[in-house]
Amino acid sequence: EAGQARCTHVLRGHAHRIKCVGFSADGKFLVSGDSQGHVALWDMTQHCCLLAFKAHNDGVTSVELTHDFQLLTSSTDLSAKFWQLGE
């Protein structure tokens, strides 16, 4: 029905508030960043967390996943970082 939505999956893994998310260009992966500097990489076909790590000393403000599987993160700790992720 028009104007309605239903939740199909819930991704759980962060212990702190999620502040930003970003999809890969093909929609197969999602990256999320939280208020304490943690980043998680999610497989959207299996709906599971593939990788989680402490990326920053303060909250993550943006995440961007490139076509060649590099990740750019920025934070309120005044840094931006590039990460090479394994596929």
pLDDT tens, position by position, 3-38: 889 998 999 999 999 999 999 999 999 999 999 999
pTM: 0.89
Distance CA 41, CA 59 (A): 16
Q: Tokens 């394994």, residue?
A: 86
Report the alpha-carbon distance of residue 7 to residue 67 in Å, rounded: 27
Alpha carbons 37 and 16: distance in angstroms, whole number: 9
pLDDT per position as a tens digit, 36-82: 999 999 999 999 999 999 999 999 999 999 988 899 999 999 999 99
